[in-house]
Structure 1
Amino acid sequence: MGFDFTDPRLYRPRAALYALAFEEAGLALVWQERIHSDLRARGAGLAGTATVTTTIFGGPLGAGDGSARYVAVMAFVGVGLCALGLLWPRHFDVASDARTMVREYAEPSSVPLPLVHRDLALVRSDAFARNRRRLDRMTWLLRVGLCLLAVQVVAWVVSYAQSL
């Protein structure tokens, strides 16, 4: 037996739950947007740290042509690519389009508010799932970048020690 969305007796008792789901889904998207911003900021910090490390060790201190120097340079390139992946502009779903909402819910006939809350909660849930996949990829990039940064620092220290 399906749910009859045209019968107010069936959806009105669920109105508060639909509103709650709508609000919670909105809070989850705000939380995700904060994580997205944090990951991008960490990507910028990662790029800056790798650059400073290479400037210090790869400049006047980085004499010699040892294999450690090449490893350090390759790790620097890898860190740069990870940071670029973190900082690359991408679409991130955090809000519903007002034009779509008006067209779908207000025109040509008005949809009852509880059903709007229900539908938008489901739309937000889909956006949450898409955003989560993006955040998982960004988290992976940050972890790889941090590992490469550690390799870079160790390689520069070894290269410096070899040049003494």
Structure 2
Amino acid sequence: MSDQSPSPAPLSDDELRETLDMVGTVLASVSDRVDAQTGTMDRLVKTATEARQAAFAAQNQTDPEQYGNLVGQVVAGKITDPLNHMIRVANVLSEQSRHTEAVLKKAEQDKWEILNDIRERERQADRLKRNLPWFGLTAFFVALTLTIVLPRFSALNSTTCAVFGGEWVRTTEGNQACVHYRD
């Protein structure tokens, strides 16, 4: 016995063509499947790449430091002008407040000065009211005294006699006297 297996019987031309057609069909089918699997693998690689890029982007977006810097830049960009405007307004209001405070303080001082002046005038008026009877009485006594003393004073010498409308004359007895004539 020999180690060789018996060889199959040779195929006919029709059988050989049919076998070749089957092998071609199987090969075409396998090629289509390989193409489909290659397309699937390409999509899978593309999806994996996109997923990896998305993961890196998400990692960058969820990085607290980078996210904080981004938020800080956006917030600073949005509120810088309004904050500067508010600071200017606050400075103007502060200056106006100081000016108003100074004006109010001056008005308060003026008010107290006016009240003190009014009080002083009232005191003077009260003093005048208290002293008015004494002043009137004094004026009466001065007038009475002048009525009595003035004619005597005018008679002392020729100058005072002339001032009061009199005339300095000598009497028959030789005494000098101040005389007031009626017309």
**Fold-level similarity (TM above 0.5):** no
For CA contacts below 8 A with separation 6 or more, give which structure has more relative contact order.
Answer: 1
TM-score, with structure 1 as normaliser = 0.32
Q: Which has the higher strand share?
A: 2
TM-score, with structure 2 as normaliser = 0.29
